[in-house]
Amino acid sequence: MGNPLLKLYSVDKEKAIDGGRFLRWTIYRGQQKDRSSSASSLVSLFCFDKKALTVSPFSSSPSLRSSLLSLLQQEAQLLQRLRHPQLLHLVEPLQDDKNSLVFCTRLVETTLREQLYEQCRPHSGGRGLSSSEAGPYSSAYTRESEDGGSSTRGKIVPLSLLEIKSGLLDLGEALQFLHADAQLVHLNVNPDSVFFTPKGQWRLGGLGFAQEIIGDGSAGKLVDCGFSFGAPSGSAQAQVSVVPPLYYSAPELAASHPGKCCRASDIFSLGLLMAEVLLGAGAGSEARLLKTNEWDVSAHQAQCQRLLPLRSTMFANSPYFSMPSAAASLPTLIALLSSMLSPDPSQRPSIEQFLQSPFFQDMNMRALRFLESLHEKDESQKIQFLKGFLPLLQQQEEFHHTNLLRNRVVGPLLDALAFPALYPFVLPNLFFVIKQ
């Protein structure tokens, strides 16, 4: 593409993450040319080829071209302005030339959409599914490389329930920052906006549709959003969309022209994504809570009104709730999802209430989140925690997942070795993890 930003990096020829209708960017792995070969010098380059603007419907519609370029530019510009640990981390700002748009972030390995897509492949006779065919399949998977590290290349490894819960909290914390500090509503929470770091953390991107909401942003203060569903004939089927995926959009976004939005609109989208990830592959087609296509607005409206009531039996085939301890959390999960998926925005919880839900407050989850913030604690807190963490590792089956231990446990334990006083308490935990 010849973009000036690409000249600063050695860029892989193969795409790391394929673009598509709702991701819009094609993502390549790159390495800074002036840095030594190390993991810290690896980056992700988000690229948009402007050739897409020369085909229908964009070639015949200046307004559509302008809309698409504006949302792509806003996505990169907001990442430049906003900094939060759970958002994509911008390394190089947007470079816009006559042929392409390119910006650079810290390395991400895949998207939640690609994880779901990979889960679809065995059921498609090896053909693979398009992004629209794959739809919101409800099992999140990572792939394990031959050298044992997480990668987008290699065999598929299912995520554990604790990893999914932790990832959902990552997304919740990103939305809390947007809602409370940035005074923004995201409006594009879907699997294409969720990225996975090499260590399995979930990062939120897809900020192209975000818009400012001033004040308390209560559900009763709906404001116009900057796009409308039910676009003119042809644009709905465009290869690159200028609206978020209708499937994951709250009903108020599509109920009028233009749609209405508030902070609770993000809660609905997060709830739908959460439900379908936790349903698991065993649910098959039932993982799709809504049975509509991407441009049937009336069907989407009707089905959003009929989503409730939810029942715990819907998770009967989910692999994530087979253990008694996990199954015991189903009532709290159903209560949370039922409130998040209410068709009435005023009945949905705030993002703060989501983060404080009892579903995320079990002993194992609290221990994992404490471990992730161990570096922020004082020495006595670290020692007390590490003493109690070993029995959890040994006795709780939820911790006996290689991917979880590698991605979420080993790193904080190794970091704690920077403090010699912690050796007697860190090493027993570390030895147990290595044995696993």
Burial readout 266-275 (b: 16 or more C-beta within 10 A, e: otherwise)? bbbbbbbbbb
Identify the CATH homologous superfamily for domain 160-360: Transferase(Phosphotransferase) domain 1 (1.10.510.10)
pLDDT digits (tens, 9 = 90+) for 374-413: 999 999 999 999 999 999 999 998 999 998 999 999 999 9
Beta strand 202-204 with 211-212: parallel, antiparallel or unpaired? Answer: unpaired
Torsion angle in degrees (nearest 10) through CA of 7, 8, 9, 13: -10
Burial readout 92-108 (b: 16 or more C-beta within 10 A, e: otherwise)? bebbbeeebbbbbbbbb
pLDDT digits (tens, 9 = 90+) for 249-281: 999 999 988 889 999 999 999 999 999 899 876
Residue 157 has pLDDT above 80, yes or no: no
Domain 4-108: CATH class, spelled out: alpha beta
Residue 276 tokens, joined = 């379908």
What residue segments make up the domains of the chain, in order of their start?
Answer: 4-108, 160-360, 363-435
**pLDDT value, residue 41:** 83
Report which of 245, 261, 231, 240 is spatially closest to residue 345, judged by C-alpha positions: 261
- How would residue 235 be classed by pLDDT, with cut points 50, 70 and 90? low
DSSP labels for 421-432? GGHHHHHHHHHH
Residue 285 has pLDDT above 80, yes or no: no
Please say whether the beta carbons of 185 and 206 come within 8 A.
no
Please state, rounded to an integer, the average pLDDT across all residues of the chain: 86
Task: Give the least confident one: 86-90, 142-146, 207-211, 302-306.
Answer: 142-146
The pTM assigned to this predicted structure is 0.89
Residue 220 has pLDDT above 60, yes or no: no
pLDDT digits (tens, 9 = 90+) for 47-66: 999 999 998 788 888 988 99
Task: Examine residue 57 and say whether the peptide bond preceding it is cis (omega within 30 degrees of 0).
Answer: yes
Residue 433 has pLDDT above 70, yes or no: yes
Work out the widest C-alpha separation in the chain, in whole angstroms: 69
pLDDT digits (tens, 9 = 90+) for 174-195: 999 999 999 999 999 999 999 9
**pLDDT value, residue 221:** 82
Beta strand 150-151 with 26-32: parallel, antiparallel or unpaired? Answer: unpaired
